Amino acid sequence: MGTRPCRKCGKQIVDAIMIDDVGQQKFIVLDPVPAVYELTDRRAVDGRPLVDRAPRERFMVTHFSTCPHAEYFSRGRKATARPDGDKSA
């Protein structure tokens, strides 16, 4: 799995393709560093759900949830967010 730096914040990211609910391919940028947790069916004594830390090799979060410049890439702000026409992270 290769990484490259985000053009705005410089953190290492992973480019991937996701298949959405209707079978369309979508480009997605992932952040391989943040901790990711998986909910389990187990409960703590006080009733709160227990989680397991997920292996980083298998689970990542979208980089847009961690990038301080995420609004630069927001599709809802095309006119002001990307004046140079740059569409990639």
pLDDT of residue 34: 67
pLDDT of residue 81: 39
pLDDT of residue 45: 92
pLDDT of residue 83: 42
pLDDT of residue 8: 87
pLDDT of residue 46: 94
Structure tokens at 17: 């393709």
Q: What is the pLDDT of residues 28-57, one digit of tens each?
A: 888 877 677 888 999 999 999 898 887 766
Domain-by-domain residue ranges, the chain?
4-80
Backbone φ, ψ for residue 40 (5° rounding): -110, 175
pLDDT of residue 4: 92
The residue to which tokens 């569409």 are assigned: 87
The number of CA neighbours under 13 Å toward the Cβ of 86 is 11
Nearest residue to 58 (alpha-carbon basis) of 9, 12, 16: 16
34 vs 17: CA distance, rounded Å: 20
38 vs 41: CA distance, rounded Å: 10
Q: What is the pLDDT of residues 5-34, one digit of tens each?
A: 988 889 898 998 988 888 899 888 888 776
